[in-house]
Structure 1
Amino acid sequence: MDTPEFSAPPLNSPELYINREQSLLEFNIRVLAQALDENLPILERLNYLCISCSNLDEFYEVRVASLLQMAEIDATAISADGLNIHEQFERISSKAHELVAEQYRVLNEVLIPALDAQNIRFMRRDSWSDSQKAWLENYFNEELLPILTPVGLDSAHPFPRILNKSLNFIISLTGKDAFGRNSGRAVLQAPRALPRIVQIPAGETDSGPHDFVFLSSIIHEFVTDLFNGMTVKGCYQFRVTRNSDFFVDDDAIDDLMMAVEGELAMRNYGDEVRLEIDANCPEETVNFLLARFDLTPDRLFLANGPVNLSRIQAIYNMVNRPELKFSAFKPGLPNALKRDKDIFACIRKQDILLHHPYESFNPVIEFVKQAAADPDVLAIKQTLYRTGVDSPIVAALIKAARAGKEVTVVIELRARFDEKDNIGLAAKLQEAAAHVVYGVVGYKTHAKMCMVLRKEGNTFRNYVHLGTGNYHPKTARLYTDYGLFTCEKELSEDVRRVFMQLTSLGKVSKLNKLLQSPFTLHQGLIKMIDREIDQAQKGKPAKIIMKVNAVVEEQAIQALYRASQAGVEIKLIVRGICCLRPGVPGVSEHIEVRSIVGRFLEHTRIYAFMNGGDWAIYAASADLMNRNMFRRVEVCFPLEDKKISGRVLNDLHANLNDNSQAWLLQSNGQYVRASAGDDPVYQLQTELLKAFAQ
């Protein structure tokens, strides 16, 4: 009897896709796992716990909120993995509740005892000494009581508006107040200006050098002082997470800045998407709050500790114990920039690649500063997505504009959670007479570009910087990114044309070397994947290596599946979301997916194709996501200098050799941490620090 031939499923089959939201939750599980790594300093482990919590906040503010909005439009909508919205909610809720339970277990059973061993103590109320309690009571009376405003709930005092992610208390009362009222409940909102963690001074009490108390514990202990003559039967902290992903209708507005400012004012009061409440809260009170916020039990989370875990991150800066943190490092500099302080002269000699944070971000700042001060510089053009409030780059652009140079800045006002800062930066630049535009209607400007036009004798030369990350000095110390300086004629002309598209009205310009979304980037990447397929079908070696933050876009995933079926070796280094399912027989057995989670946030976007042995390597601002390919302005630039492309290729192989901080995606959608086994431990980020940092 003949054995039936194996038939691979169609490439759009739901079974070949991992749910996007579940994949994002898996990333947070990997982040939380860092808190359990005993090889890491204890304060860094606490930091990872807090990051996993703030990530989950954003997940509910944006992703869950988006699904809820979709459900109102079409609850039958099916995701790529074949789930309707109701089924997605069920899986998200189950995974999120497991994650939260693990977060509190890690805090209570692992980190607090480990911190206590280092004389860093979170003091519970039942452990306060008499002197500590006396100091805390005085602190309550002097610092808290004057600004706390409890609201008794009755017909004249409706339930107050609760700010997004704020700390609040629901209080059960008995007895009558001065007017004979007894509603039985009150709500107390903790002002955001108050610290969520208070340090007990060692000199005034019998405390150790690092004894801390949660603000919630202080309020719990002395809350009766707020209700004179009444009895507090219970006091329970709670927190509400709201929809923070606002919508601006580009076609219905005349002034984008005013529209964004209007939406920002409402962000703290968007629709409720999650309720966190003290695990000891009585069921009656829990149900009261669920009904008040119109939430179902699957969006209720019981907290076995502070409801705002991410605020514990304050401890990191409150404890001056360098030995309990990552070792400090000084970013290095490329040899070319060590020898010559004239950055334009350096770029004329050769292209220069920077790899942050191992190499300093200062040359990027210096590039703009020198341009601002150089009398031969006529114009500066810059995109800004996230850059920070006190940006030295913005200061240099303002200086250049005031010096009479032509300064054009494309600011993306809708960079999520940075909208307010970007509005402020836009106003400062406009005051200095810089030309400020907000990109293209309907498309976020996510490209990372800076161009300087310089007059040199009788000619003009464009110097450009292109990057995979933002022009943000602080995140350049925390995120891994590449930046390229070049004055190569065709590439710099491409950058000029993209800026023209962003600031003027006109047809799409044909570009020489850049790939640009939403026009040529997606099809360009597909074309290069197809080229590797062609090589494999001819029996020649074929390989693709991509390093991105996310892989979601279905057409690109299907192109990679086709490449795997043709025998192309594919290595994907994906920090966060990956909807591609590796290891499926007949479809993706030639695809390996790994995620590296370490000291620095892996943020580089690199697309590398073997190209018959003459590797084609591109760096980009874009991930393999629908939004990056079709709803944003992005640029993807070739690394043509052989030394630079060879260096980046070596970096990619180093990523693939990591056997300590890498996680391997399994075909079931879960990740397994890589193990060195009998081999020497190789940790990518540690090795790069050794190689480049000083």
Structure 2
Amino acid sequence: MEILNRELSWLEFNKRVLLEASDQENPLFERVKFGAIFSSNLDEFFMVRVAAIKNQVTLGYAEKDPSGFTALEKLNAINEKVRGLVTHQEEILKALIIEMKKEGVVILNASELTENQYEKMQLYFNTEVFPVLTPMAVDFTRRFPHVANKGLYLAVKLMVGFETKLAIVQVPEVLNRFVEVEKKKGHSTYILLEDVISIFIDHLFPGHQVLATSLFRVTRNGDLTIVEDEAEDLLMVIEEAVRLRKWGETVRLEISSGTDSWLSSVIKDALMLDNSQIYEIDGILDATCFFKFKLSKTKRHLNRPDYQPRVLKDFDKKNLFKTIKNGDLFVHHPYETFDVVADFIKQASKDPQVLAIKQTLYRVSGNSQIVKALGDAADRGKQVTVLVELMARFDEENNINWAKKLEQRGVHVIYGIYGLKTHSKITLVVRKEKNKIKRYLHLGTGNYNDQTARIYTDMGLFTARESFGADASNFFNMVSGFATAVHTNVLTVAPFNLRQRFYQLIDAEIEAAKAGKKAKITAKMNSLVDIEMIEKLYEASRAGVQIRLVVRGICTLVPGVEGLSENIRVKSIVGEFLEHSRIYIFHNDGDRKVFLSSADWMSRNLNRRIELMFPVEDPLISERINRIMSLYLKDNVKSWQLNSDGSYSKKALKKDEKRVHAQELLKSLDYLDSESFSEALVFRNKEV
């Protein structure tokens, strides 16, 4: 069976991110940010994927993966691919810095300072920087210091007496990386903090000669290894694992190009690295610094204007429950405000008729209104249960902190389920109305995070359907008790029956195709890597099912292969917003079935996570989602087509071809045929 390599597919995704940094249609500083996103993505890739593969190589693991690569072959292929991408990034960032200069935003090198600027930086160094710095000498009594994951350091080559010595100086994270040198009307000049330190580095070593300096940065294994069988208290185990993450094995060294050979050799030996793990950077080392770069008010045109989400019309903020009871409500973030989700939980926390609130939380923002509302609800005596996933990668510490605070306020906090990661997105509100119990739900494809909801595309459904409410109660009883299965009618739950449900839906399309009927599957997800699911899609393609997929990131399925996947087309969309929603649509012999889910087609989602998929039963909402999917498939501005060799290509527009930019059209609702239709989607009463 033909399968593309997972890691190389991910690198192709990050390449698409990088190419957004050179897309002239993006505002200048949006392009700079895409360069920063590329670097941030690459950091995580090394911390997790490369670290895992390196461990396999160290252990002598020689088995081939489904794509035919051994661990060593993967490592070599990754090394070659990353070096090419990093070189491309350096070229792009240099070009962007030149463009920034033309716009009056100048980043100087140390050698470019004028005499007046030099004196100003000397004063800044002496008063602001010098007191913070701590030089760390390395000799036979003082070993090479611990270098923090992703921290910036200056290596200093010194002549001490008649001997060459090494010292390390950390570039302080508490100070701005971009130091303002000069500011005039319409013109701002900066220099990097490490350059300021390097200019005056001799102040730290009086009486000794500084022979050379170099900037470097290490990336460490950042994946948590939790042995749950031996964990009496999972919370304590994860807290300790997070604390130890900074000590993980070094997997990558980034160092300034042109570094003194002695310095390079000493650092390499101290960190026990081979040449394949060392990346020489020509330019700014760690471009994630641009996330914190703040443009002056006069330069805001260099950024994309902040998008203001639509506020749902006729949505009664005073009584959200009445609105939801009148009919299912669909929200599409960030095009429609996430505030409605927060308001749903806030109102539930205050409503005297609400008896209980139950919610799963995977990633939330640091100052979450939802978490505050849950605590408020518990203060008011309501039964509040929160299932928090402690092992949400790189958010573990944040989740532990707010989970403890919720416990202190009387919330029943469940710290995950043994052996499974909870990734589902569901909120259940139990309300007493006229001596009867009424259940209200929010189900979504994305996290309950007000910050990411501004930049991630996700979908949510509010409903008061009794069938959904009954299933939700069964679901929460399962996750809070000892149940090893869950019995539901409309909701599908991984790892219990989600895979089987997908197989049933695909099999129905296969049977339709074999019977000569129209058969079609349209799906959108973040990643597609599950081997069994790919085999099932190949089977469907061979039967004649037309399959159209929008996969933002990793896709190991090989499309367009005669006799295997000639009926499958895969595209990826990378744009202003990160495509995060999971949509699954099946033609079903003309009676279309539309589902939303928290799950991708990955083995981890289907086998090792608590995930939810839910049907969209309202015909108008179903039609709207179908139109959104059609729009994604028609996009010819931010779309990349997956080729059979694993590369992606962007189709050039013909002279008279109409531009279809899905995200821009979704901002404006122009993809809907009529105003009346859009109004009906936003709010409906029982008569609609």
Compute the TM-score of the two structures, normalised by the length of structure 2.
Answer: 0.95
Equivalent of 1:686, from 633, 648, 664?
664
Q: CA deviation at 1:319?
A: 6.3
Q: Which residue number corresponds to residue 266 of structure 2?
A: 288
Alignment of 1:330 onto 2:316: no
Q: CA deviation at 1:675?
A: 2.9
Q: Is the partner of 2:394 in helix, strand or coil?
A: coil
Equivalent of 1:118, from 83, 86, 103?
103
Q: Which residue number corresponds to residue 7 of structure 1?
A: none
Q: Which residue number corresponds to residue 463 of structure 1?
A: 440
**Take 2:218 and 2:21, find their aligned partners in 1: how far apart are those partners?**
25
**Take 2:252 and 2:291, find their aligned partners in 1: how far apart are those partners?**
22
Q: CA deviation at 1:325?
A: 1.2
Q: Which residue number corresponds to residue 52 of structure 2?
A: 66
Q: CA deviation at 1:336?
A: 4.2
Q: CA deviation at 1:315?
A: 1.8
Alignment of 1:127 onto 2:117: no
- What code does the residue aligned with 2:438 have? R
Q: Which residue number corresponds to residue 664 of structure 1?
A: 641
Deviations 1:507-565 (A, max 9, x none): 41211011111111111111111111110000000110110000000000011111111
- What code does the residue aligned with 1:558 have? E
Residues 676 and 341 from structure 1, CA distance in 2 versus in 1: closer, same or farther, beyond 3 angstroms?
farther
Alignment of 1:443 onto 2:429: no
Alignment of 1:262 onto 2:240: yes
Q: Is the partner of 1:335 in helix, strand or coil?
A: coil
- What code does the residue aligned with 1:78 have? K
**Take 2:651 and 2:443, find their aligned partners in 1: how far apart are those partners?**
33
Q: Which residue number corresponds to residue 210 of structure 1?
A: 188
TM alignment of 1:445-524, pairs within 5 A: 445-524=422-501
Q: How many residues align structurally?
A: 671
Q: Which residue number corresponds to residue 538 of structure 1?
A: 515
Q: CA deviation at 1:340?
A: 5.9
Equivalent of 2:171, from 190, 200, 203?
190
Q: CA deviation at 1:202?
A: 2.1
Equivalent of 1:44, from 2, 26, 30?
30
Q: Which residue number corresponds to residue 41 of structure 2?
A: 55
**Take 2:128 and 2:539, find their aligned partners in 1: how far apart are those partners?**
65
Equivalent of 1:594, from 571, 584, 594?
571
- What code does the residue aligned with 2:202 have? T
Q: CA deviation at 1:676?
A: 2.6
Asked whether the 8 Å contact 1:607–1:619 carries over to 2, the reply is yes
**Take 1:301 and 1:195, find their aligned partners in 2: how far apart are those partners?**
25
Deviations 1:463-482 (A, max 9, x none): 01000000000100000000
**Take 1:35 and 1:307, find their aligned partners in 2: how far apart are those partners?**
17
Q: CA deviation at 1:208?
A: 6.4
Alignment of 1:359 onto 2:307: no
Q: Is the partner of 1:285 in helix, strand or coil?
A: helix
Identity percentage over the alignment? Answer: 39
Q: CA deviation at 1:490?
A: 1.1
**Take 1:73 and 1:635, find their aligned partners in 2: how far apart are those partners?**
37
Q: Is the partner of 1:184 in helix, strand or coil?
A: strand
Q: CA deviation at 1:144?
A: 1.0
Equivalent of 2:393, from 416, 420, 439?
416
Q: Which residue number corresponds to residue 685 of structure 2?
A: none
Asked whether the 8 Å contact 2:598–2:613 carries over to 1, the reply is yes
Equivalent of 2:88, from 94, 102, 114?
102
**Take 1:78 and 1:493, find their aligned partners in 2: how far apart are those partners?**
46
Alignment of 1:624 onto 2:604: no
RMSD value, Cα: 1.6
- What code does the residue aligned with 2:564 have? V
Q: Which residue number corresponds to residue 5 of structure 1?
A: none
Equivalent of 2:134, from 149, 157, 172?
149
Residues 51 and 319 from structure 1, CA distance in 2 versus in 1: closer, same or farther, beyond 3 angstroms?
farther
Deviations 1:193-215 (A, max 9, x none): 22221122427xxx963211111
Q: CA deviation at 1:230?
A: 1.2
Alignment of 1:79 onto 2:60: no
Q: CA deviation at 1:249?
A: 1.0
- What code does the residue aligned with 2:662 have? L
Deviations 1:112-170 (A, max 9, x none): 11111110111112221222111111111111111111112111221100000100111
Q: Which residue number corresponds to residue 238 of structure 1?
A: 216
TM alignment of 1:602-621, pairs within 5 A: 602-621=579-598
- What code does the residue aligned with 2:516 have? G
Asked whether the 8 Å contact 1:491–1:514 carries over to 2, the reply is yes
- What code does the residue aligned with 2:245 have? R
Equivalent of 1:306, from 284, 300, 308?
284
- What code does the residue aligned with 1:545 have? T
- What code does the residue aligned with 1:173 have? L
Q: Which residue number corresponds to residue 360 of structure 2?
A: 383
**Take 1:620 and 1:69, find their aligned partners in 2: how far apart are those partners?**
33
Q: CA deviation at 1:328?
A: 2.6
Residues 289 and 175 from structure 1, CA distance in 2 versus in 1: closer, same or farther, beyond 3 angstroms?
closer
Unmatched tracts of structure 1, length 5 or more: 1-12
**Take 1:507 and 1:458, find their aligned partners in 2: how far apart are those partners?**
33
Q: Is the partner of 2:44 in helix, strand or coil?
A: helix
Asked whether the 8 Å contact 1:168–1:189 carries over to 2, the reply is yes
- What code does the residue aligned with 2:146 have? R
Asked whether the 8 Å contact 2:186–2:298 carries over to 1, the reply is no
Q: Which residue number corresponds to residue 3 of structure 1?
A: none
- What code does the residue aligned with 1:491 have? F
Residues 449 and 551 from structure 1, CA distance in 2 versus in 1: closer, same or farther, beyond 3 angstroms?
same
**Take 1:303 and 1:281, find their aligned partners in 2: how far apart are those partners?**
10
**Take 2:50 and 2:314, find their aligned partners in 1: how far apart are those partners?**
48
Residues 613 and 336 from structure 1, CA distance in 2 versus in 1: closer, same or farther, beyond 3 angstroms?
farther
Asked whether the 8 Å contact 1:618–1:637 carries over to 2, the reply is yes
Q: Which residue number corresponds to residue 19 of structure 2?
A: 33
- What code does the residue aligned with 1:308 have? D
Asked whether the 8 Å contact 1:439–1:503 carries over to 2, the reply is no
Q: CA deviation at 1:182?
A: 4.2
Alignment of 1:573 onto 2:550: yes
Deviations 1:258-306 (A, max 9, x none): 1111011111110000000010112332222222111111111001122
Q: Is the partner of 1:461 in helix, strand or coil?
A: strand
Compute the TM-score of the two structures, normalised by the length of structure 1.
Answer: 0.95
Structure 1 ranges of 4+ moved more than 6 A: none
Asked whether the 8 Å contact 1:480–1:604 carries over to 2, the reply is yes
**Take 2:295 and 2:151, find their aligned partners in 1: how far apart are those partners?**
22
